[in-house]
Amino acid sequence: MDIQNLSIDTIRKSLIAKKFSALDLTKTYLARLKKIDPKIKAFITITDNLALKTATSLDQKIAAGKKIGKLAGSLMAIKDNFMTEGTRSTAGSQVLKDYIPPYSSTLYNKLLAEDSIPIGKTNTDAFTFGASTENSGFFITKNPWNLNLVPGGSSGGSAAALSANLCTFALGTDTGGSIRQPASLCSVTGIKPTYGRNSRFGITSMASSFDTPGAFAKTAADLALVSQVMAGVDCRDATSSLLPVPDYPKLLLQTKLKGLKIGLAHQYFADPINPAVKKAVQQSATVFEKQGAKLVDISLPNSRLALAVYYILVPCEISANMARFDGIRFGSSVKDTKDLLSHYLETRGKYMEDELKRRILIGTYALSAGYFDAYYMKAAKVRTLIKNEFINAYKKVDLILAPTSPTPAWPIGQKVDDPLQMYLADIYTCPVNVAGLPALALPCGFTADNLPVGFQLIGNYWTEDSLFSAGYQYQQLTDYHLSNPKL
């Protein structure tokens, strides 16, 4: 059975037509995973027993003639910051290296309810703090297109697993670009929905006003299916939206490319962009133009401030959220300290990875007495300016097209000692998180060295349906998303 580029719809229909069983399919994926994953190291935990058990009960359901879920038989890779009841959930950190949660995240439960099959938990920068997956407390994940390069991050394990065809779709979180950037570096499709579209319940918190769970798939059509299951209000997340969820898979042709106004902001095509990336992204705009879309020059000068806003507000929120990791109720803990204060200091000092410490320290500093107005309040005001600039742009255009990463994947080790250089990898993605907008990352070409390049379509608030529709039509006209790495 060839599982490369097998779509969610094909799997479901094949199960119903009894072309193969869910158990056979799962065994095929697991065999491939065990052969390929030692090369790329995308998974922290492989849930083979759980996968086989879930597949068997799905087959029983089919045999009994019962209705099967929308994602029936699709193999799901789960970023390890999603809590999965009874299965170790580490968030990629030594702080939670042995943590088995007593509950599951809402999104994981929703996807299981539609009969998807969990194949494993994927690597991430510890607590998702990073842009290359090198900050993982476990090991480094490699880019399936070139094993000497990073897969991007923080959801690098999920992007690499999908790119290598070790799952049908994968879950990620995008706080500053952590879905879109690895999607582009690994040549898969990824969605960062509008903030509040998907529930955050049961996912480790990084920066609560930025964190956006989303997914990766091989195509915009598959992603529309998965996203429709994920989206919607959750009484356990007060910031999840009550707005109704459109039927994304049914709306894949609703956006008419003819006359569609696509904004291109010159600030997103300037230094530090790599020339090959610039060329491929500009060509993707031409694909839309040939179908009658109108390319409109827009200006987003405040976007250049987004990274600075991000690296104040996000560490501030991190410093508050990470306070819970004290090694008392759960998590790794240093024994035999002399008093409670030493327990906190030594436990956090010993188990937290460098990037956790750096960001907690920046946040603590920026929020400390005397600095609050200068850093936090100032950044929160500039955040308003960035949001307003996007809101005004959408009075003139329907979508904005931009690169996701200024460069293709870079060598492992190149940026790890220079956090600021690593932060700059998110320069085109983080403005979207600052504003809370939705964005879809799509593959759009390869460099001369055969490294994937991607772009993002940034939509107005709650317009995921238009993004999937435009992305679907783009993928009917191009075949970059169908290429697979040689492994």
Partner 1 sequence: MSSLDLTTLRHTALLARIKLNSTEEEKFLPQLASVLDYVEILNQVDTSGVPPSFQAVSQKLTGRLDTVVSGLSQKQALASAPDSQDGYFKVKASIKK
CB atoms within 10 A of CB 86: 12
Does 470 bind partner 1 (CB under 8 A)? Our answer is no
Q: Give the residue, chosen from 343, 412, 443, 466, that forms a contact with partner 1 under the rule CB under 8 A.
A: 343
- Residue 318, Cα to own-chain centre: how many angstroms? 18
Residue 110 or 142: which CB sits closer to partner 1?
110
Which is closer to partner 1, CB of 319 or CB of 466? 319
Q: Which of 12, 121, 348, 415 binds partner 1 (CB under 8 A)?
A: 348
Q: Which stretch binds partner 1 (CB under 8 A): 1-9, 67-75, 235-243, 406-414?
A: 235-243
Give the ranges where 394-477 is alpha helix by DSSP (H): 419-423, 430-435, 464-477
Please report whether residue 360 would count as binding partner 1 according to CB under 8 A.
Answer: yes
Catalytic residue among 14, 41, 70, 79: 79
Q: Is the peptide bond before 154 cis (omega within 30 degrees of 0)?
A: yes
- Bridge-based pairing of strands 399-403 and 294-298 is unpaired
Binding range to partner 1, per CB under 8 A, among 55-63, 64-72, 130-138, 369-377: 369-377
CB of 294 to partner 1, least distance (A): 28
List binders of partner 1 among 116-175 (CB under 8 A): none
Q: Judge whether 165 and 197 are in contact, CB under 8 Å.
A: no
For the question of residue 258 being annotated catalytic, the response is: no
Q: Which stretch binds partner 1 (CB under 8 A): 108-116, 130-138, 147-155, 434-442?
A: 434-442
Closer Cβ to partner 1, 361 or 477, answer by number: 361
Q: Is 199 a catalytic site residue?
A: no
E strand residue ranges, 67-204: 75-79, 117-122, 169-173, 189-192
Q: Looking at this protein, which amino acid is placed at residue 449? A: D
The window from 71-79, 93-101, 150-158, 265-273 that contacts partner 1 (CB under 8 A) reads 93-101
Judged by CB under 8 A, the residue of 436, 454, 459, 485 near partner 1 is: 436
Contact call for residue 368 and partner 1 (CB under 8 A): yes
377 binds partner 1 (CB under 8 A): yes
Spatial separation of the C-alpha atoms in residues 363 and 127, rounded to whole Å:
15
296, with CB counted inside 10 A (0-12, 13-18, 19+), is middle
204, 148 in Cβ contact below 8 A? Answer: no
Q: How far is the CB of 339 from partner 1 (least distance, A)?
A: 5
- Residue 276 makes contact with partner 1 by CB under 8 A: no
Query: To 10 degrees, the CA torsion angle through 422, 427, 432, 435?
Result: 100
Task: Restricting to residues 399-428, name those near partner 1 by CB under 8 A.
Answer: 418-420, 423
Q: How many helices (H) and strands (E) does the chain have?
A: 15, 11
Write out the two tokens for 202: 């049961």
- Alpha helices, H only, 64-114: 106-113
Q: Which is nearer to partner 1, 14 or 332 (CB)?
A: 332
Residues 401, 435, 439, 451: which binds partner 1 (CB under 8 A)?
435
Figure out which of the listed residues 216, 311, 455, 480 binds partner 1, where binding follows CB under 8 A: 311
**Which region among 15-23, 36-44, 55-63, 335-343 touches partner 1 (by CB under 8 A)?**
335-343
Distance of CA 157 to the CA centre of its chain: 10
Nearer to partner 1 (CB atom), residue 66 or residue 329: 329
Helix axes 156-163, 22-40, angle to 10 degrees: 120
Q: Is 285 a residue that touches partner 1 (CB under 8 A)?
A: no
Crossing angle of helices 106-113 and 220-230, rounded to 10°: 110
Tell me: does residue 209 bind partner 1 (CB under 8 A).
yes
Q: Confirm or reject binding of residue 97 to partner 1 (CB under 8 A).
A: no
Give the C-alpha separation, 423 to 415, whole Å. 9
Q: Does 196 bind partner 1 (CB under 8 A)?
A: yes
DSSP secondary structure string for all residues of 3-24: -TT--HHHHHHHHHTTSS-HHH
Catalytic residue among 89, 178, 332, 469: 178
**Min. distance of Cβ 308 from partner 1 in angstroms?**
4
Q: Does residue 194 belong to the site contacting partner 1 (CB under 8 A)?
A: yes
Catalytic-residue membership of 332: no
Residue 373's Cβ-count burial label (10 Å; 0-12, 13-18, 19+) is: exposed
Active-site annotation, residues: 79, 154, 178
